[in-house]
Amino acid sequence: MQVNKLTPKQESEICLACGECCKRYNITLLPEDVSKIAKKLKISKKKFLSENCELFVKVFPKSVPGVLTCSTAFFPKTVSDLLYNDFNYLPAGFFVVPQISLKRIENGHCQFLDSKNACKIYDVRPSPCKLFPFLVVEGYNENYPFCELFKKTYKNYSLQSKVFQKKITTYFKMVDEKGMKKVWGTLPKKGKFFLNELFLGSISSKNLEIILSKKIK
C-alpha cells in the first residue's frame, strides 16, 4: 500500500482532473445528510426529498426472520413480477435494503457535480463521498482502478468507516421498527429497484411501504 503524503491542494487537483466517482455511483443518504444539504440549498427537507432524491431499494433472498426480512407472499404484484422475471420462482422472503439516494442527471453524473468536476455541496457532502476511496477494507481499491488519488496516496479512514457503518446499522433498525415514512417524514414517490446488484426496474414508495409492513417473524 502506498503511503505518499499529499497536500490538500495536490489532492484537490487530482480529484478535479477526474471526478469519476461522482459520475459512476449512486450516492445513498441518511436523514442527517438530507437536513444538512437542504439547509445549504435553503429549501425544505420535503422539497429536497421530493425534487432531488429517489428511492434506492435492493433485495436479497432470505427466509430466516431478522431485521427488514419481508415475506414475498405480500409483495405487490408489480414487484413480484419484476423478481419472477429474473428468478422464474419466488423465494419465501427477502432481506430488503430501503435507502434514499441523490437523483442523477441524464448523463448519469451526480446532480451536484459542476462543469469543473467540483462538488457544489462539498462542505455538507454525504459520508460515502467523504470516505471514498479510503475505505476500511484494505485491497478494496482494486474495485476502483480509475481512482488516481488512491494510486498516489493512502489514508486510514477505518475509524470513520466504522462510525458510518454503525450509523447505517442504526438506520436500518429504525426503519424496521418505525417504517420509512416516520424515519424520513417524506418519501420520494418512486425510485430504482434491484435484486442484489441487478437493476430490475422502478418501485413506488407505496409499494415499498407495503413490502416493509409484512415482515417474517
- What band does 137 get if pLDDT is binned at 50, 70 and 90? low
Cell representation of residue 139: 485491497
Average pLDDT over the chain reads: 90
Say what the pLDDT of residue 3 is. 59
> 104 in helix, strand or coil?
strand
Beta-strand relationship, 53-61 and 190-195: parallel
Give the H/E segment covering residue 167.
Answer: helix 158-178
Asked if the model's pLDDT at residue 15 lies above 70, the reply is yes
Q: Are 207 and 56 in contact (CB under 8 A)?
A: no
- What band does 104 get if pLDDT is binned at 50, 70 and 90? very high
Query: Per DSSP, which regions of the chain are E strands?
Result: 28-29, 53-61, 69-71, 93-102, 190-195, 198-204
DSSP 1: -
Cell representation of residue 34: 438530507
Of 111, 100, 112, 99, the closest CA to residue 54 belongs to: 100
Asked if the model's pLDDT at residue 134 lies above 90, the reply is no
The conformational region for residue 80 under phi > 0 = left, psi -120 to 50 = alpha, else beta, is: alpha
Cell representation of residue 39: 439547509
Say what the pLDDT of residue 142 is. 64
DSSP 197: T
pTM of the model as a whole? 0.88
Spatial distance between the Cα atoms of 51 and 35, rounded to a whole number of angstroms: 14
Spatial distance between the Cα atoms of 67 and 78, rounded to a whole number of angstroms: 24
Asked if the model's pLDDT at residue 31 lies above 80, the reply is yes
- What band does 185 get if pLDDT is binned at 50, 70 and 90? very high
Q: If you search the block for the grid coordinates 425534487, which residue do you land on?
A: 51
Q: Are 65 and 216 in contact (CB under 8 A)?
A: yes
Among 4-8, 66-70, 177-181, whose mean pLDDT is lowest? 4-8
Beta-ladder partners of 53: 102
Say what the pLDDT of residue 199 is. 94
Residues with Cβ within 8 Å of 176's Cβ and at least 6 positions away in sequence, in order, are 67, 68, 212, 215
- What band does 138 get if pLDDT is binned at 50, 70 and 90? low
Beta-strand relationship, 198-204 and 190-195: antiparallel
